[in-house]
Structure 1
Amino acid sequence: MASPFQPHSEAASHVTKVTATGLDDPAKKEIAMKIVSSAENSSLDWKAQYKYIEDIDDGRGYTAGIIGFCSGTGDMLDLVELYKTRKPGNVLEKYLPALRNVDGSDSHSGLDPNYTRDWKTAANDSVFKAAQDSERDRVYFNPSVRQGKSDGVGVLGQFMYYDAIVMHGGGNDSTSFGGIRKRALTKAKPPSQGGNETTWLNAFLDARVWAMKQEEAHSDTSRVDTAQRVFLRNGNLNLNTPLDWKVYGDSFHIS
């Protein structure tokens, strides 16, 4: 959904060995995909979202796929370029010049009227689905898990990082992941620096809520308030099932 992750050097020297299961455990990763999908698509069926595409009027152009790749933020362009590499001559390849031109804007120039139709066609292709999985992991999931393990937080904390990077991107400005983490550091320390995990994660969520309220399209903070805060209040630092939460008024359950 947002721009690619940029690593933060200040945490590099504070790597803490996490003995508990990480978010990269296949069962935990599946839970993470479902929770993000509940917020992004109002559904736990994240695998049904490969074909999803619409302009949600957030200034990022088209939002599409399993993680909300955007035509205006570069990650959709990277995805379609990867798809071309893996399957030359695919149905989306002809849109690469337009995707380069609209990068950084909300324009549909060169994409309409058939881009959404062709995206949905591509979503039936296993090669395109695998490319979406690869880019999700490279840009969003893997950096979140790495930073979480570096900070000494468990599965829930790694998920909080992942959800934040999905929405805000991994840059260092005040409303991107790096800025959110920096704001949290003024209030608390992560476990790798001797802090309490719950205190740190509350500080991180406070900073996340502040960042969300800076942008009208993201000003509804229920994906934090009635989901991640609930897990944290319950002391469920390992995201153990069963899980119950709400997003934007809809209730969800994983047994």
Structure 2
Amino acid sequence: MVSLQNSPSIHQTWLPNASNQLGFYRPGTFRRGISFLVRAEQVSAATTSPRQEGPGRRQLLAAGATVAPWILLSYQTSTSFAAENKKGFLAVMDKKDGYSFLYPFGWQEVVIEGQDKVFKDVIEPLESVSVNLIPTSKKDIRDLGSPQEVAETLIKKVLAPPSQKTKLVEAAEHDADGTAYYTFEFVAQAPNYTRHALSAICIGNGKFYTLTTGANERRWEKMKDKLHTVIDSFKIVNA
């Protein structure tokens, strides 16, 4: 993995006032989880020696034809999350910290201090997705305020540097498996670039989860459908 510092695509500064306002514990209490990718595996078939002719070999082949579908079904069941993957996307499942999401094929994992997981396009550095975890005493994202209120606070104090001009485009709430999620769209303008971004936030497992993805404004129309897929795929599970 490539280690990046001061990347313009990711900015994360948890200010003390923001942490207190949103009910977070101190950043020093971060517990970095061990994440892993859900990848497809190739199952190689056993080879048979040419000398194994006759009824014995035919019986083995017949048995294999009967057992193979069952093995395939079992494999698909054991990797049910991978089965939900969309064409052109890869899946991440972090069982320890309790979250999953999809990201576009071709993006590479990078390490950025303060982020639990980051994937980005190596050619277009503003195209990325990051996940941040903050311990919290809150139980529900709605305890922090409305989608608009929470989004404005995060954008101004956390998701963009103070020097950037930001604008909240829209914010909404939805429920998935009994958990409330806030999603919002915003624009952050720097002197030499403008980033159009989407975020999904929720609370569960004693953590405040923030997933943010985005792209350069000039590529927004081309990338927005993919980025919405990333946001829509974000789910938390019991850790």
Q: TM-score, normalised by structure 1?
A: 0.28
* Structure with the greater alpha carbon radius of gyration: 2
More strand per residue: 2
More helix per residue: 1
